[in-house]
Amino acid sequence: MALEFTDTNFKTEVLDSDKLSVVDFWAEWCGPCRAIGPVIEELAKEYEGKVKIGKVNVDHNPQISTNYGITSIPAILFIKNGEIVDKLVGAQPKSNFVKKIEALK
The verdict on whether 33 is a catalytic residue reads: yes
How many other β-carbons are positioned within 10 Å of the β-carbon of residue 82?
Answer: 12
Distance CA 71, CA 64 (A): 12
pTM: 0.95
At 40 the pLDDT is: 97
**Catalytic residue selected from 14, 22, 33, 43:** 33
Read off the DSSP letter of residue 12.
I
Fold of domain 3-104: Glutaredoxin (3.40.30)
In this predicted model, what pLDDT tens digit does every residue of 26-64 receive, in sequence order?
999 999 999 999 999 999 999 999 999 999 999 999 999
Bond before 74 cis per omega within 30 degrees = yes
**Catalytic residue selected from 14, 20, 22, 30:** 30
At 51 the pLDDT is: 97
The residues that bridge with 86 in the sheet, in sequence order, are 78
In this predicted model, what pLDDT tens digit does every residue of 73-93 receive, in sequence order?
999 999 999 999 999 999 999
The verdict on whether 44 is a catalytic residue reads: no
At 35 the pLDDT is: 95
